[in-house]
């Protein structure tokens, strides 16, 4: 037991389930946002376009601080 004491308290099943559920929820949200970004209309106007420039055929957003 002393050899494993540096690992701390072991994770219980309920803690793992909570952590796993949280991870999968975040993962699904990221996937949905990625799909939404893929399906958006590139010809539609967005206010952030004022600060965007085209470089090598791709839109690059320039930040004011940089």
Q: What are phi and psi of 13, to 5 degrees?
A: -60, -40
pLDDT grade, residue 48 (50/70/90)?
Answer: low
Could you tell me which of 33, 52, 7 has the C-alpha nearest to residue 61? 52
> For residue 34, what pLDDT is reported?
87
**What average pLDDT does the chain have?**
82
65 or 29: which leads in pLDDT: 29
- Between β-strands 52-55 and 58-61, what pairing exists: parallel, antiparallel or unpaired? antiparallel
What are the CA-CA distances from residue 55 to residues 3, 50, 60, 61 (Å)?
56, 15, 6, 10
Q: What are phi and psi of 24, to 5 degrees?
A: -70, -35
Average pLDDT for 25-51:
82
52 or 6: which leads in pLDDT: 6
């Amino acid at each position: 037991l002393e050899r494993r004491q540096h690992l701390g308290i072991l994770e219980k099943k309920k803690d793992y389930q909570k952590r796993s559920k949280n991870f999968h929820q975040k993962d699904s949200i990221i996937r949905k946002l990625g799909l939404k970004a893929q399906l958006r209309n590139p010809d539609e106007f967005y206010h952030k376009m004022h600060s965007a420039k085209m470089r090598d055929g791709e839109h690059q957003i320039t930040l004011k601080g940089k």
